[in-house]
Amino acid sequence: MADAAIRQLVILSMLPRSPRMLSTPEVYERVKNAGFSVTAKTVERDLLSLERHFALLCDQESKPYRWSFQELSGAFRSLQLLTCQASASRWL
């Protein structure tokens, strides 16, 4: 379960703010490159789960679906702050 939570945090940190978007296969490739051994379907389920809890946009007009944070999402700003803090703590 902890691996899934970490993976989902990594996915959130990868998603751009709207209007830029990443397709589901692009997210999957980035998750694999981050060292997670999961299937594309697992990443798809993660994105759908995250969409229920965070201000994510999913463009479903064509496949593959494309994902981003809503432009004015507070969750996006909070995630940016946490990422900056984590990066800074490495250097302290």
The pTM assigned to this predicted structure is 0.75
Nearest CA to 69 out of 6, 22, 34 is that of 22
The hierarchical CATH code for the domain 2-91 is 1.10.10.10
Please count the residues of the chain.
92
pLDDT of residue 77 exceeding 80 = no
Share of the chain above pLDDT 90, in %: 59
Pairing label, strands 66-69, 56-59: antiparallel
Comparison of pLDDT for 54 and 66, the residue scoring more: 66
1 band by pLDDT with thresholds 50, 70 and 90: low
User: What's the pLDDT score for residue 78?
Assistant: 61
Amino acid code (one letter) for 59 = D
18 band by pLDDT with thresholds 50, 70 and 90: confident
> What distances in angstroms separate CA 92 from CA 13, 17, 77, one per listed residue?
22, 29, 23
Task: Please state the domain extents for the chain.
Answer: 2-91
